[in-house]
Amino acid sequence: MIRLKVKEVAGAKHISQRKLSKLSEVDIKTLQKIFRDPYRVVTTETLDKLARALGVDARELIESVPDNAE
């Protein structure tokens, strides 16, 4: 299972949801859903936009976790 680390990376860089939404051009509602549910399915396009806005490689925004880790 893939887990998104967007919330953690944004927090470490002191970037709010609103600012990240503006920087990445990802809708704030979508971003809120990603922050609430790190197991949410997102497109590679969205992942790329978030990675660029955060100044990291997209690989830093995902991690593989065992299926029973929810």
pLDDT digits (tens, 9 = 90+) for 14-54: 999 999 999 999 999 999 999 999 999 999 999 999 999 99
Q: How confident is the model at residue 68, as a pLDDT?
A: 73
- The predicted pLDDT at position 70 comes to 54
Report the predicted TM-score, pTM, of the whole model to 2 decimal places: 0.90
Structural domains for the chain: 2-69 (1.10.260.40)
Q: Quick check: 69 pLDDT over 80?
A: no
User: What is the predicted pLDDT for the residue at 67?
Assistant: 82
Burial label, 10 (beta-carbon count in 10 A; 0-12, 13-18, 19+): buried
